[in-house]
A and B are shown apart, each in its own frame.
Chain A
Amino acid sequence: MKNINHKPIIGLEIHVELNTKTKMFCRCPAKYFGEEPNTYTCPVCLGLPGALPYPNKTANEYCVMIALALQCKITDFSYFERKNYFYPDLPKGYQISQYINPFGIDGYLNIKSSAQDSKRIRIRRVHMEEDTAKLIHPSGNQDEHSYIDFNRSGVPLVEIVTEPDIASAEEAKIFLTKLQRIIRYLGVSDADMEKGNMRLEPNISLRELTTENIKLDTEKLPNYKVEVKNINSFRFVEKAINYEIERQMKILEKGEIPVQETRGWDDIKNKTVSQRIKEEAHDYRYFPEPDIPPIKIDKTYVEKIKEKIPELPDEKIQRFAKEYLLSFYDSEILAREKQTADYFEEGVIIGLKESITPKQIANRMINDKTFNPETTLPAQLIEEMLLLKKDILEVITDEDKKKIETVIKENPQAAEAYGNGKMQVIGFLIGAVNKKLQGKKINPQLIKNTLEMLLKK
């Protein structure tokens, strides 16, 4: 047997549903998840005779925003095209998409993996299109029909395509996690995999590396490609990629070439299964969509969108580390979600006056298992931390208990809200109790427990 090494060549195609109010080309609501099938429809998204698309400007803006966040060049002239193919989930017989002139091209996203401190994954294109309807195939033998739910038809969809720069399942997962964070930071999509807001299609092939061609590393791509569909979590992406690497390796080791095909991930059997063999490229007969005028994108438009882009995770992590003297590790955890990062910074401002350091706040947020940003406002967090710094009593006297009861009586609305499941009001009540205690410091956890006990009566 020859001594052959195999290097995985992985590219990703990611579809992101935008969270605009209305669909891409009509005024139907775009947030269809969990709604009664076929209730968010109109002549346009049903593809009825005579209906015409009317583009959603906000969606175009969001797409350009994603492209900018991924360092893409923004085209100054773009237009929609028709991608013609027949499928029951495509009511017009074509999908309105972008082909020749996508909004964004030639971008990148840097990632950090266990193998490499910084690796650049190039972005080939970011373009705007519309989602298809959803096909429903009931399982079991009673119902022989398939159903179509058009609520999803025409929901704005951004397609992001990477260059085949990804070399492992781990890198793919890191890339996707980072991409998801960016999209959530931008606020343009919920990017929820389970709801189908974010859908992934890795394409995987293996390049044989012999000592002769090891230097040709990035030049020639393998002469086949396997695309995997139906993946609805990052964990399954990892599994599917690893499964494919192993499967393809075995074929290559036998001296054969894996078949160019589309495979699906079966999360019960934990393997990929062949779906469709692609003998040659599909002819989609693209041509410019005559129903939508071309789009000119000038510099002021791009600048305006740039201004709307918030500080993204990478910059935030850098700044947290530098400005607040946090470790990279802490900064990264705090910056995972924009809400957490904002909470932290609010706390920092309040803490400053009370000489509580950012590091202390970060520690408390990261390490304290009882910490819950949903029920504690940043100011309350600081207050709690202050109390901890001073002498804190670990007992509640009968007198204290009476004061707590008075607070509940004085705040019937808050008490009622708590009864109705609004747990957040507890923070407000703790604050009121502390006021009533007039400087007496009692462990807030103790106050909380007492309050809860009394409220539940």
Chain B
Amino acid sequence: MNIEELTIEKVLDGYRNKKFSITEIIQVYFERIKKYNPQINSFITLCEEEALQEAKRKDELLKNEGVSLPLFGIPMGLKDLFSTKDIKTTASSEVLEDYTPPYDSTVVQRLKDAGAIILGKLNCDAWAHGSSGENSDFGPTKNPWNKEYVPGGSSSGSAASVAASFVLAATGTDTGGSIRLPASFTNTVGLKPTYGRVSRYGVIAMASSLDSIGHFTKTVRDNALILNITAGNDMFDATTSQNPVPNYLENLNKGIKGLKIGIPKEYTTKEKGMELDVLLTFENAIKKLNKLGAEIIEISLPHTEYSIACYYIIQPSEVSSNLARYDGIRFGNDRSYFGDEAKRRIMLGTYTLSAGYYDAYYKKAMQARTLIKQNFDKVFDASNGVDAIIAPVSPTLPWKLGEKVNDPLKMYLSDVFTVTANLAGIPGLSVPAGFAKELPVGIQILGPHFSEELLFRIGFAFEQETEFYKSNPKL
């Protein structure tokens, strides 16, 4: 058994064929985590005892009932923004360094009910504020492909853990690219579902109207399998949709012949800090999709240029309100424990919501948001639009640790291609697209609301053709 080659599918097969027990699998993963995590720093809380107990219990079940659940005995990690009953949940901030929730978030509950085993909690930028993972109060996470580089953020530990084969899947949150960017930087598959597809209940909020709850896996198939579990209406999140949840595995290998795929010209300009390596990888990806039978069409999303400005008003506004509950009265440490980035966003957001400024900032940004959404609606128009869009995830390759920490604005600009999907509420799937300078590069596939099934189909075709998932970092 080569742990790096394992996927959810392979592990479930192994259980079925008695190649290994659940306990053996969980032990192997913990051995690997304990050996390499000190270099990577993707896990900040380990639940070894509980996980092994659970594995033992499940091994008994396995003997009697076989593999009875879709994620039976699958080792997973959770971004430390997901509330877990009786397991410390810190948001990677010292404010919550000793906070243990009395309840499970909906997604965690669903994953556990589906048989997943939680190995521990994963590092991230504190409160999910950041694009590199360096804003964690518990130290930055390193990119498994090159430990001098960032793994991308804010779901840094989730991406790094999947890439380093510490877990088979990890949850993440994407408010402005926090799943897609780190997926792209680590050769993993990252999904940002449609807003309202997956419940936010119990996940520490960053910006409520933008937060999307997704996950990382090594393959597209595994990714679809997880969404089968997490998607769906929740009586604890009023913004979840009543739309029925399809079986995301069903149409996975239907191919992409005849699909119309749009390339937004605003995302491929050589200006605005776009690195040539990224552009070349992207052009290669277009060629592959074309070869697979997709029709490639140049499209325009003219309001893209306002997206970062718009995002950096709406997001801090909501952040400033969402962080108000961390007053240290009922739980956690007091406000002096907030880091600089959180304080920066609290101040920005408080300002943009203030009387006299609200109309000029927040209200204007919400109007711009509507225009950005309309851009997408037009492009995806059922009669003469495209089926999906592909675009680079980040204008740059992963950068070196420390390179942007003193320049918040530069850091914010790394989200330029990802924030639009959050503003419009549409889904995005980041899939590996190759390597440049021995660092991973991903592309994102965007589609209309609730088109995750289509995104998986395109991603799967691309993955079968390119097989980048077979590459693993040397730790």
Write the chain A residue with the least CB distance to B349: A285
In this complex, how many residues of chain B approach chain A with their Cβ under 8 Å: the count is 43
Do B321 and A287 have beta carbons less than 8 Å apart?
Answer: yes
- Distance in angstroms from A80 CB to nearest chain B CB is 10
B-contacting 9-mer, from A112-120, A214-222, A289-297, A307-315: A289-297
Write the chain B residue with the least CB distance to A281: B355
Partner of A43, one of B99, B102, B323: B102
- Known: A50-B83, A91-B330. Contact between A285 and B350, CB under 8 A? yes
Do B355 and A93 have beta carbons less than 8 Å apart?
Answer: no
Do B83 and A292 have beta carbons less than 8 Å apart?
Answer: no
- Contact residues, A384-430 vs B (CB, 8 A): none
Do B203 and A50 have beta carbons less than 8 Å apart?
Answer: yes
Do A53 and B238 have beta carbons less than 8 Å apart?
Answer: yes
Do A92 and B325 have beta carbons less than 8 Å apart?
Answer: yes
Judged by a CB distance under 8 angstroms, whether A283 is at the interface is yes
Do B324 and A54 have beta carbons less than 8 Å apart?
Answer: no
- Known: A86-B327, A92-B325. Contact between A52 and B358, CB under 8 A? no
Write the chain A residue with the least CB distance to B363: A287
Judged by a CB distance under 8 angstroms, whether B101 is at the interface is yes
Do B355 and A49 have beta carbons less than 8 Å apart?
Answer: no
Do A46 and B238 have beta carbons less than 8 Å apart?
Answer: no
Do A93 and B201 have beta carbons less than 8 Å apart?
Answer: no
Judged by a CB distance under 8 angstroms, whether B333 is at the interface is no
Partner of A50, one of B101, B235, B358, B362: B101
Do B354 and A52 have beta carbons less than 8 Å apart?
Answer: no
A-contacting 9-mer, from B117-125, B204-212, B300-308, B386-394: B204-212
Write the chain A residue with the least CB distance to B350: A285
Q: Which residues of B contact A292 (CB under 8 A)?
A: 238-239
Interface string of B309-338 (1 = CB under 8 A from A): 000000001101101111101110000000
Q: Which residues of B contact A437 (CB under 8 A)?
A: none
- Known: A51-B201, A52-B201. Contact between A82 and B103, CB under 8 A? no
Do B105 and A82 have beta carbons less than 8 Å apart?
Answer: no
Do B355 and A94 have beta carbons less than 8 Å apart?
Answer: no
Please classify how large the interface on chain A is, using the bins under 10, 10 to 19, 20 to 34, 35 or more.
20 to 34
CA distance A281 to B91 in the complex (A): 35
CA distance A52 to B200 in the complex (A): 8
Q: Which residues of B contact A287 (CB under 8 A)?
A: 317-318, 321, 353, 358, 362
CA distance A86 to B354 in the complex (A): 15
Write the chain A residue with the least CB distance to B237: A52
Do A290 and B208 have beta carbons less than 8 Å apart?
Answer: yes
- Distance in angstroms from B203 CB to nearest chain A CB is 5
Judged by a CB distance under 8 angstroms, whether B20 is at the interface is no
Do B238 and A293 have beta carbons less than 8 Å apart?
Answer: yes
Partner of B101, one of A49, A84, A286, A293: A49
Partner of A49, one of B96, B237, B317, B327: B96
CA distance A46 to B330 in the complex (A): 9
Do A49 and B200 have beta carbons less than 8 Å apart?
Answer: no
Judged by a CB distance under 8 angstroms, whether A55 is at the interface is yes
- Distance in angstroms from B357 CB to nearest chain A CB is 10
Interface string of A272-312 (1 = CB under 8 A from B): 00000000010101110011110000000000000000000
Q: Which residues of B contact A91 (CB under 8 A)?
A: 325, 330
CA distance A376 to B105 in the complex (A): 55
Judged by a CB distance under 8 angstroms, whether A251 is at the interface is no
Do B325 and A54 have beta carbons less than 8 Å apart?
Answer: no
Judged by a CB distance under 8 angstroms, whether A88 is at the interface is yes
Q: Which residues of B contact A264 (CB under 8 A)?
A: none
Do A88 and B329 have beta carbons less than 8 Å apart?
Answer: yes
Q: Which residues of B contact A94 (CB under 8 A)?
A: 321, 324
Partner of B83, one of A49, A92, A93: A49
Q: Which residues of A contact B99 (CB under 8 A)?
A: 49
Judged by a CB distance under 8 angstroms, whether B184 is at the interface is no
- Contact residues, B55-71 vs A (CB, 8 A): none
- Distance in angstroms from A354 CB to nearest chain B CB is 55
- Distance in angstroms from A122 CB to nearest chain B CB is 26
Write the chain A residue with the least CB distance to B91: A49
CA distance A90 to B21 in the complex (A): 50
- Contact residues, B188-241 vs A (CB, 8 A): 200-205, 207-209, 235-239
- Distance in angstroms from B6 CB to nearest chain A CB is 31
Partner of B354, one of A44, A82, A92, A285: A285
Do A291 and B208 have beta carbons less than 8 Å apart?
Answer: yes
Do A49 and B204 have beta carbons less than 8 Å apart?
Answer: yes
Do A52 and B236 have beta carbons less than 8 Å apart?
Answer: yes
CA distance A52 to B237 in the complex (A): 6
- Distance in angstroms from B315 CB to nearest chain A CB is 11
Q: Which residues of A contact B207 (CB under 8 A)?
A: 290
Interface string of A49-92 (1 = CB under 8 A from B): 11111110000000000000000000000000010101010011
Interface pairs A-B: 4 shortest CB-CB:
A93-B324, A290-B209, A285-B353, A290-B208
5 contacts between A and B (CB under 8 A): A50-B200, A50-B204, A88-B327, A285-B354, A291-B208
Residues of B that sit less than 8 Å from A by CB: 81-83, 89, 91, 96, 99, 101-103, 105, 200-205, 207-209, 235-239, 317-318, 320-321, 323-327, 329-331, 350, 353-355, 358, 362
Residues of A that sit less than 8 Å from B by CB: 43-44, 46-55, 82, 84, 86, 88, 91-94, 148, 281, 283, 285-287, 290-293
